[in-house]
Structure 1
Amino acid sequence: MSVKASIITIGDELLIGQVIDTNSAVIAQLLNGIGISVSLRLAVGDDKVNILDALNTAESQSDIIIITGGLGPTADDITKPLLCEYFGGTLIENKEARENVISIFTKANRPVTERNLTQALVPDVCTMLLNVRGTAPGMLFRKNNKVYFSLPGVPHEMNGLMQSHVLPYLYDHYPLQVIAHRTMTTAGIPESSIADHIKSFEEALPHYIKLAYLPNYGLVRLRLTGTGNSISDINTRLDQQFSELQSLLKDHIVSNRDETMQETVARLLQQQNKTLGTAESCTGGYIAHLVTSMAGSSNYYLGSVVSYANSVKHDILNVSQESLDTVGAVSEPVVIDMVNGILNRLKTDYAIATSGIMGPGGGTDTKPVGTVWVAVGNKNKIVTQCFKLRYERQKNIEVTAIYALNLLRKFMVENN
């Protein structure tokens, strides 16, 4: 039996873009990991009518409804009294929840107010889920053979309750199917061309395996998802299909794992026992940020020179002043010098250099906004590539970083 879930996130801040909804993604991943598919995701504001509509819609489509947000002690947090009304209950104080509130404030050496203690009020028709990471308890309701979980909107608290209460409950009460995935990343071929190239493969997929296309700025991830009752059986069948898909796209594969570009590069650096340094102008340290966001990056990443000014390019990285004066900072000779400069300064095995015009201003007829030069290399060889991007400033920076890392990846594979 296929078990389906809906996710409802509550808060005006989500609808106006002030806060990004990461809770839905985390919940969906956790549910998918135990064989529950998410059929619906809704974001609604702090409005009673809209929340009730969302609850009714979710109930009509799902076995499990997970709600986050609106459980704070202030007037704009309306989820708890609304759920009390929806399920026909009365708010009562839960002793364990009260003790938890007092304990948290005592440990923080802060006074407990009456408003804080209202967090211990829960509907008498729910099962209280103790939130050891915060003062707002979670709540479990049952209605019309459906199960509802109401969780705090704070991501750290929500995740804790998912792990300690929600997932164990679902394991115990539902006959769960197995859901497994295989993901690869491709580059250098657009989504439509991939679809044409693997049309026969996609049409021949069995009904229990589905293919998804996940394009993102020059890269396309392909995900095969298999559903069944036996983990060994579905993994065997997925591996067979995934092997065929890799064979069809072998000339375009960046990675046959579900990993980011920086994770792919990190894996290659560790496999080769090599080190990396970066010389960044237009990306302003964003490549360094991506690389160092991963635990263990100090094993292979030595550092960066953010050479935004031409004087830094010349004085620190020994970029030719003649090149800066004649062809300009956004040019092939300059990024080549930047690579050599970082290799000499940091004594790394590999280096990346970027220089470009991110916008919105600064472009010319010959070098419009979005013109970017990237170089990668080692002490024996350097390769370059010029990109013509078309996005706004921040996206140009992010895309350049991914393109630069991919250029390094190809260089590492071809020159190891």
Structure 2
Amino acid sequence: MLALFASLVVFAASETAPLPPVPIIPDPEVPRYLNIVERSEWGRAVRQIELGQARVQQGMSIMGAPRLESKGAFAETAEQAKARAQKIIDEGRNQLAQAQPSLTRLRNVAAARHLEVTKTVNLNNELPQALWNYSLTLSAVRLQKIARDQGFKQQHLVGAITVVEGNKPLRTTALTDQLRAAWNKADPKALSPVPVAGYGYACPAGDGPATLSSEWKLPTTPRQTALIWAEVYPLTADNSASLLFVRMADAFSMRVIASEVYLTTTGPADSFPKVYTASLSLKDEKSFIPRLAGSGDWVLSYDGTCSPLGAALMRHLCVRVGNLGVGASQSLVEVLGGDTPSLDGAKASWNITTDGGSNLVKSFKVASASPGAEKTDVGQLVLKLEEPAKPAGK
């Protein structure tokens, strides 16, 4: 904007100059994309533009002032005043001309970097089909290894839910028992005993961790107590396929630290009713997730309008692919019931709404919002099931 104003000043002084290139980002944003040396150069050029503007304006003021007869040591004729004004204007123009190449070059540098960091990226996750019991066993083996590697002393399997789009989550005791059996088969000593009164979510006092039982001993540091639960989402009208999520969270930070997902049946089965392949993809139009993940420790909550399946898929992508924090409290309240969930330090929220689709394709619009800011459209999240092509009849 400073350079644009300078060009207008020069034009007003009857000097023709080429129009500056139109930046794709505003000048106040340019320094964000420059390194230290480039920011110093940008600052010097901006100051020189300001000085040049001031000189041009000073000369134009002298040039346009009414001429009064002056006498004495500082006597000046009209011609002399005009010459002095023209000299000042020329000095200002020279300063503007010297600064303009730096501004133009650095604008182009910033614009190129802006385009690079905001280019469309695709976050993808292939979901091979797996039988129900195998999915439970594999999730137990993988999550137990994560718990051991990170040094968790206790592992609590707190429950499971089945979620049908448009309905409230249904707590599923049978799935909890099946997952517990798979967990014990992998390592009989891994799980902590279930409290006599069972599990339930109680909102934390202040910044402390949530309480999950009247017998609960609150963890005092991260990586003490792991929480495990399962979620099932039927996908097809004929119940031939579902998604099974098994999550693990740190009870101290209430962050989801691991997420497993399997394309499977809607319960134990010896074979697949239908064979599918599945893929999960998010088309992030402006590299929102990589930029957010690179800007610090972010946790985003899920607002009340989110599609349950869309939110479940987004949680998985954020943990496995996007490296964004996912709070556990909202999921735990669905699994256990209890108090209104804590936001787990979330500074913004996801808004995930159904965007058409079919029996085999689930599509969602993903956006994000933070307090006091406009909603940011992120992109389209798609879960696609495909049946293998059948050979043509002879």
Which category of TM-score, normalised to the shorter sequence, fits these structures? under 0.3
Larger helix percent: 1
TM-score, normalised on structure 1? Answer: 0.21
Higher relative contact order (CA 8 A, sep 6+): 2
